[in-house]
Amino acid sequence: MAEGCAPHGVLRLRGREFGPGRPAVMAVLNRTPDSFYDAGATFGFDAALRAADAAVAHGADIIDVGGVKAGRGAPVSTAEEIDRTAPLLARLRERHPATVLSADTWRAEVARVCTEAGADLVNDTWSGADPDLAAVAAEAGAGLVCSHTGGLGPRTDPHRVRYRDVVADVVARVTALARRAVALGVPPDRVLIDPTHDFGKNTYHSLEVTRRLGELVRTGWPVLVAASNKDFIGETLDAPVGDRRAGTLAVLAVAAWQGAAVFRVHDVAAARAALDAVAALTATGGQDSGV
């Protein structure tokens, strides 16, 4: 087990515990006009509120609010990102006091305002690109997602990326970031590691990470899987963005079986049902059926 990590990969946020057998569903909520999946369906403030309410009703444990498209697109200033995310987080904290709220940002300044607005978690999908981000999470008492991008900076796409062993590279990077976060004051049981499918990886790399996710779980840090409707699923199944639901659920099940703790998804109801089924199967797998 990694030094200083939560025992058995348990994540504790807002008085709740998540981990293998108790998976958390993290609902994606993009306040962007150019999201790859919904093309701006939740960009409007009221639309975002309705989507959050629906996600909670369908079983979301965490709502992850983002204000910048992950991939290439129109520039978004720090001020604009704050305007898109912080007021919504403040409203959601009032409406859903028991729900864990997450700010999807790589910028320390944005994270500071968002945690003041009520975010319990900072989801840094760009692998510590802003070195001050972990300190901001620590000062706020918030959790932190430590991710892997193969050295790519924010909003850049992989091009002919190569690894001697992609899983070894992922493990080394995310555990180093996790240890740094703890050293800066983030509580160990509020740190997550994320292999970050498709970020700095081609389809082969993302599939390999999925097959060997257990190696990340065995580090002892809680593992976040954010594979919903991603390109590696589409390329593997030759499926457009709108037809990746079955592939997404298959990846979630494989990851849950290996012990991942948190699952970032677009379709909360389907993910909740699939993960609850896996949890039930793993819970009874070692018992005598009496047959």
- Please list the active-site residues: 230, 264
Cα torsion 274, 257, 19, 216: sign = negative
In Å, what is the CA distance from 16 to each residue of 49, 85, 164, 220?
A: 23, 23, 38, 18
- The position carrying tokens 């959790």 is 143
Q: What share of the chain is helix, strand, coil (3-state, %, to 5)?
A: 45, 15, 40
Backbone phi and psi for residue 243, each to the nearest 5 degrees, phi listed first: -130, 40
Phi-psi region of 147 (alpha: psi -120 to 50; beta: other; left: phi over 0): beta
Q: How many helices (H) and strands (E) does the chain have?
A: 10, 10
Structure tokens given for 105: 């940002």
